[in-house]
Amino acid sequence: MDKKQAYSCYYVSHMRTLFTVASSKGQIVIPAALREELGIKAGTRLALTPEEGRLILQPVTDDFIDSVMGSCKGEDSLVEALDREHRIENDKDLRP
């Protein structure tokens, strides 16, 4: 693949759409201007989220981490679940 043809930039009305080509290993090139705009540097972790037939690629920043905190929380907090397990275990130990 010719490096100059690795990606193209098209402006469609008010949207900026960038196109890139996946390599045989699934690797893609993120254009330098976009990397700079989003603060993506070598070693930056990226979150990939499939959504309605699209792939959302997002740098893992403090803001991103704050936005997903608590999203996997169940009915109980971890502390409450551990306390409940300990009570159940203690009850078993106290039975004759």
Domain spans in the chain, listed from the N-terminal domain onward = 3-94
| Residues making up the chain, counted from first to last | 96
Per-residue confidence (pLDDT) for residue 50, from 0 to 100: 93
Per-residue confidence (pLDDT) for residue 1, from 0 to 100: 47
pLDDT, averaged per 10 consecutive residues of the chain (96 residues), comes to: 53 69 92 89 90 89 72 70 84 71
Per-residue confidence (pLDDT) for residue 89, from 0 to 100: 83
Per-residue confidence (pLDDT) for residue 91, from 0 to 100: 79
* DSSP per-residue letters across 22-74: --TTS-----HHHHHHHT--TT--EEEEEETTEEEEEE--HHHHHHHTTTT--
The CATH code belonging to domain 3-94 is: 2.10.260
CA distance 83 to 77: 10
Write phi, then psi, for 55 (nearest 5 degrees): -115, 120
